[in-house]
Amino acid sequence: MKRTIVFILSPYISHIIAAVKVARHLQQRGFHIVYVSSPLLQTAIHRYGFDCHPTSVKFIGHTGQDPVVIKILLEEIKAQYAPVAFMVEVGFWEAALLLKGMGIRFLMLQSWAYGDRCAYMPPFYRHKKLPSRNIPVFVWNTVVWEWSNLYHRFLQRGFWQRYRAVVQLSNLPASVRHVTFKNRSTICRVLHVPELVLYPAELDFPRKLHPDTRFAGPFIDADRTENAFDFEQIDLSKPLVVCSLGSLTHWYEQAPLFYQKVIDAFRICTQYTLVMNVGHCIEQFKDTVLPANVHLYRAIPQLTLLKKARFFITHGGASSLKEGIHFAVPMLVYPWTLKSDMYENAKRIVYHQLGIAGDIEQDSPADIVRHLEALCQDRITTGIRYMQSIFEQYQTAESTVIDFIESVIHH
């Protein structure tokens, strides 16, 4: 009989990719891996060598998804696969409590920036401020964190009403608290359940860890299969710069304007070769006269290109950040939305001197040129190589994380 582990993650390719290395390790130990995800991602998941249980069910509470529908899906998965465990994305607390009520073991998996209390930053996850050790700032942050705890505990009535309904549906004891917002930025913690953060602790900010949190390391699937790239089309005698704003740029209406600014910057920086992923905007540039050193693509094999890259212009997605570090490529980061972890990752790039953060709305082509020049600083070269060495240490210890997952499953 197959020993199945089911992954429930956000239905975006970046989240799927973030957990592929963990899933592959488990598969190598004899587990059957099933992703529960959007039908649109089924082909990609099969390409990575895993099964997919397609569904349109939304697992995040703020989508208004009826928890009864989530429970029906989980029962369907239980009946079909008899899983020994689930790996559930942090934030999917309804699914977690329902699994707890069903008596199925699970771990929480976090593929993006860790967001627990940091004394040097306010609790508002979606902001642009870097950590500060200034004493007045420290005092202010302490006050705001305590206010945030009180707000989540007593004033989020809509959340706690939904929570009570899910607890009742899960047949869990109502007298026991199963989740908490204490010292959390935005997403509640499911109590007494291990959380694996797919980051090294050294890439985080100074903070006291919760005992259920474990920094597992980057778990980059650097050997994943990508589409071939014809390097004969570009001039590799010049340093290569790779630019990509991620897989969700169709949400960013100003993307064409930014791409044009990058093109104009490389009209100035003729000493570099630029390969830029412009995604769905490719048609808008078909009549644009490009400099000889600029090459636009609908999609690019990011790992293949980063192996040869001198610099990486990125939106600051978690997987892109980690891949840039893996290949020790200094980064110029341009977050384009506060509704994700992009700014959190940008802060880490700046804080750990792995690159520079730009302003995607305000920066001109001249600013982009200036930032690229700044990426040549010794402090950034030193910072990125140091963090690469930290990644290598974690990667040699990945089996211990898989041992931990197995110990939780078999406990």
Comparing CA positions, the residue from 308, 328, 297, 294 lying closest to residue 220 is 328
pLDDT of residue 163: 94
Q: How confident is the model at residue 97 (pLDDT cuts 50, 70, 90)?
A: very high
So what's the architecture of 231-392 in CATH? 3-Layer(aba) Sandwich (3.40)
Residues 6+ apart with CB under 8 A from 352: 202, 203, 383, 387
Tokens of 32: 């059957």
Domain boundaries, the chain: 3-216, 231-392
Question: Which DSSP letter does residue 155 get?
Answer: I
pLDDT of residue 383: 98
- Classify residue 24 as left (phi > 0), alpha (psi -120 to 50) or beta: alpha
Q: What is the mean pLDDT of the chain?
A: 93
Interstrand relation of 31-37 and 213-215 (parallel, antiparallel or unpaired): unpaired
Report the percentage of the chain scoring pLDDT > 90. 78
Q: Is the pLDDT of residue 62 over 60?
A: no
- Measured between its terminal Cα atoms, the distance across the chain in Å is 20
Q: Point out the least confidently predicted range of 22-31, 116-125, 323-332, 347-356.
A: 116-125
Tokens of 221: 């699937």
- For residue 81, count CB atoms less than 10 angstroms from its CB and return exposed for 0-12, middle for 13-18, buried for 19 or more: middle
Q: Point out the least confidently predicted range of 82-91, 239-248, 338-347, 383-392.
A: 338-347
Q: Is the pLDDT of residue 245 over 70?
A: yes
- Residue 371: strand, helix, or coil: helix
**Which ranges constitute the DSSP H helices of 289-375?**
302-306, 318-326, 342-351, 365-374
Q: Is the pLDDT of residue 41 over 80?
A: yes
pLDDT of residue 381: 97
Topology agreement, domain 3-216 and domain 231-392: yes
- Say if CB 36 and CB 77 are below 8 A apart: yes
Q: Is the pLDDT of residue 324 over 80?
A: yes
Give the pTM: 0.93
What stretches of 29-169 adopt beta strand conformation (E)? 31-37, 51-54, 85-89, 106-110
Q: Is the pLDDT of residue 130 over 80?
A: no
Average pLDDT over residues 65-92: 95
Q: Is the pLDDT of residue 125 over 70?
A: no
- For residue 278, count CB atoms less than 10 angstroms from its CB and return exposed for 0-12, middle for 13-18, buried for 19 or more: buried
Q: Is the pLDDT of residue 112 over 90?
A: no
Q: How confident is the model at residue 60 (pLDDT cuts 50, 70, 90)?
A: low
pLDDT of residue 127: 64
Comparing CA positions, the residue from 261, 274, 387 lying closest to residue 327 is 387
Q: Is the pLDDT of residue 63 over 70?
A: no
Q: How confident is the model at residue 75 (pLDDT cuts 50, 70, 90)?
A: very high
- Say if CB 248 and CB 280 are below 8 A apart: no
Q: Is the pLDDT of residue 126 over 60?
A: no
- Say if CB 317 and CB 14 are below 8 A apart: yes
pLDDT by residue (tens digit) across 176-222?
Answer: 999 999 999 888 999 999 999 999 999 998 888 899 999 999 999 98
Q: Is the pLDDT of residue 59 over 80?
A: no
Q: Is the pLDDT of residue 131 over 60?
A: yes
Q: How confident is the model at residue 132 (pLDDT cuts 50, 70, 90)?
A: confident
- Residue 118: strand, helix, or coil: coil
pLDDT by residue (tens digit) across 249-302?
Answer: 888 999 999 999 999 999 999 999 999 999 999 999 988 899 999 999 999 999
The rounded distance, in Å, linking the Cα atoms of 297 and 280 is 9
Q: Is the pLDDT of residue 124 over 90?
A: no
pLDDT of residue 399: 97
Question: 3-216 has which CATH code?
Answer: 3.40.50.2000
Report the percentage of the chain scoring pLDDT > 70. 97
pLDDT by residue (tens digit) across 327-363?
Answer: 999 999 999 987 788 988 999 999 999 999 999 999 9
